[in-house]
């Protein structure tokens, strides 16, 4: 007579309860494996979230190149043509723009005056820097071609100058020259100094006013964070071909983040190895307990077969025992890691959000190991001859 699912579970729990110490030690192996796997995935998620937070404060990953004075005092100034030279030849370049530094500029709106720094920029500066537009628009090709006296300010300066008024469309004076505000961008956060406001003007109008065609630096944005160093190498090789004998200085805003990422990857690899070994140890433990269980319960298996239990029911019982051990150890490991992660992230103010995909993957790995380790012993148990089993009693 076939057993019901409830009866099968009852027999399984009873069988595991007869050897609590052995069951507990086997569960501990699974617990350690799942805890290591879960911790590995959590470390990766938290590290990526922390890196994303740092990038949000710094803007998009970017490489900047400047002329570099050599020991003889010789250098060459970069121009817009050099930027176009790089744009046409570089691989993996998402955006490129030019940037200059015009220093602190007295800025007046009615009775209010501040002195934020002014930066002449080219058209794709917004995309290169990763700055977000709060209101209005950024510079267009027509603004550069027609030398329009337009200006973009950051959110802090907009609040200082206009308070609750709408800044877009207002006339301000920067460096004693009139400009129309056409857009507002988010204020950049600097860990080393408080924000002081910011002015952005088209590079063309600034060069026309100063009579210079030089640009201070070229900024390049890759498609991914990992391509920053490759982008620097490409730019250096191309510029050295264009300007033989001259030197250039390269800087990127994510060098420390890249180092953190490498450290995180090394830690994840180490934890992954520990997790795999722990899961394998748990699997060996499950296999051992199943083999021992089959040997000890030969007579019981024979009796059950004699009263009508099928081979399938015998095999399912042993697989179910392994699955229960894996599930208990895996769920406990997930719970412990989740609790410890909350404590650590709260202590160090790190971003953390429970990811159900991690739980599914970790528990799935535990169950896979449990079922795989118990399969052969379960098949062996189901093939026991009931007559021989009863005679061996």
pLDDT at 8: 63
Question: What's the burial of 29, exposed, middle or buried (CB within 10 Å: 0-12/13-18/19+)?
Answer: buried
> Cα Rg for the chain, rounded, in angstroms?
34
pTM (2 d.p.): 0.65
Out of 29-33, 67-71, 208-212, 295-299, which region has the weakest mean confidence (pLDDT)? 67-71
pLDDT at 391: 63
Tokens of 392: 């061996």
More confident residue, 340 or 53: 340
More confident residue, 76 or 200: 200
Mean pLDDT of the 359-376 span: 83
2, pLDDT greater than 60: no
pLDDT at 154: 95
pLDDT at 65: 93
pLDDT at 388: 66
Residue 144 contacts residue 136 (beta carbons within 8 Å): no
Mean pLDDT of the 267-290 span: 75
Question: What's the burial of 220, exposed, middle or buried (CB within 10 Å: 0-12/13-18/19+)?
Answer: buried
Mean pLDDT of the 132-152 span: 95
Q: Are strands 177-185 and 150-154 parallel, antiparallel or unpaired?
A: parallel
Average confidence score pLDDT of the chain: 84
CA 42/CA 350 separation, integer angstroms: 12
pLDDT grade, residue 206 (50/70/90)? Answer: very high
pLDDT grade, residue 190 (50/70/90)? Answer: low
Out of 204-213, 237-246, 277-286, which region has the weakest mean confidence (pLDDT)? 277-286
Out of 113-117, 137-141, 239-243, 350-354, which region has the weakest mean confidence (pLDDT)? 350-354
pLDDT grade, residue 208 (50/70/90)? Answer: very high
145, pLDDT greater than 80: yes
SS (H, E, C) the chain: CCCCHHHHHHHHHHHHHCCHHHHHHHHHHHHHHHHHHHHHHHHHHHHHHHHHHHHHHHCCCCEEEEEECCCCCCCCCEEHHHHHHHHHHCCCEEEEEEECCCCECCEEECCEEECCEEEEECCCHHHHHCCCEEEECCCCHHHHHCCCCEEEEEHHHHHHHHCCCCCCCCEEEECCEEEEEEEEECCCCCCCCCCCCCEEEEHHHHHHHHCCCEECEEEEEECCHHHHHHHHHHHHHHHHHHCCCCEEEEEECCHHHHHHHHHHHHHHHHHHHHHHHHHHHHHHHHHHHHHHHHHHCHHHHHHHHHCCCCHHHHHHHHHHHHHHHHHHHHHHHHHHHHHHHHHHHHHHCCCCCCCHHHHHHHHHHHHHHHHHHHHHHHHHHHCCCHHHHHHCC
Residues 64-94 have pLDDT tens digits of 998 876 645 557 789 999 999 999 999 999 9
Residues 308-355 have pLDDT tens digits of 778 888 888 878 888 888 888 889 988 998 899 898 888 888 888 888
1, pLDDT greater than 50: no
pLDDT at 72: 56
Tokens of 124: 């794709």
């Amino acid at each position: 007579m076939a057993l019901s699912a409830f009866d099968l579970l009852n027999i399984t729990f009873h069988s595991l309860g007869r050897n609590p110490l052995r069951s507990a030690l086997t569960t501990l192996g699974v617990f350690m494996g799942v805890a290591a796997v879960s911790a590995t995935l959590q470390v990766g998620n938290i590290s990526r979230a922390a890196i994303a937070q740092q990038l949000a404060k710094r803007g998009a990953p970017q490489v900047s190149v400047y002329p570099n004075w050599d020991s003889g005092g010789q250098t060459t100034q970069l121009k817009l043509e050099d930027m176009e030279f790089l744009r046409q030849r570089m691989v993996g370049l998402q955006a490129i723009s030019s940037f200059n530094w015009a220093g602190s500029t007295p800025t007046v709106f009615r009775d209010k005056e501040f002195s934020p720094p002014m930066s002449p920029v080219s058209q794709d500066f917004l995309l290169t820097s990763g700055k977000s537009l709060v209101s209005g628009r950024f510079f267009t090709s027509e603004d550069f071609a027609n030398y329009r006296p337009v200006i973009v300010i950051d959110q802090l300066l907009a609040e200082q100058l206009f308070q609750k008024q709408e800044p877009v469309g207002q006339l301000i004076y920067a460096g004693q020259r009139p400009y129309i505000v056409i857009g507002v961008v988010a204020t950049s956060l600097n860990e080393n100094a408080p924000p002081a406001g910011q002015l952005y003007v088209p590079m063309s109008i600034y060069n026309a006013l100063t009579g210079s065609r030089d640009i201070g630096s070229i900024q390049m944005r890759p498609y991914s964070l990992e391509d920053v160093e490759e982008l620097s190498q490409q730019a250096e090789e191309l510029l050295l071909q264009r300007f033989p004998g001259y030197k250039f200085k390269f800087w990127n805003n994510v060098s420390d983040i890249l180092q953190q990422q490498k450290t995180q990857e090394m830690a994840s690899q180490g934890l992954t190895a520990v997790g795999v070994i722990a899961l394998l140890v748990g699997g060996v433990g499950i296999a051992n307990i199943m083999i021992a269980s089959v040997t000890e319960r030969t007579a019981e298996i024979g009796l059950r077969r004699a009263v009508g239990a099928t081979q399938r029911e015998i095999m399912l019982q042993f697989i179910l025992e392994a699955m229960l051990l894996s599930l208990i150890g895996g769920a406990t490991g997930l719970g412990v890691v989740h609790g410890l992660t909350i404590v650590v992230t709260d202590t160090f103010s790190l971003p953390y959000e429970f990811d159900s995909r991690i739980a599914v993957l970790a528990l799935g790995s535990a169950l896979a190991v449990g079922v795989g380790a118990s399969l052969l012993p379960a098949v062996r148990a189901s093939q026991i001859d009931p007559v021989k089993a009863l005679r061996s009693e």
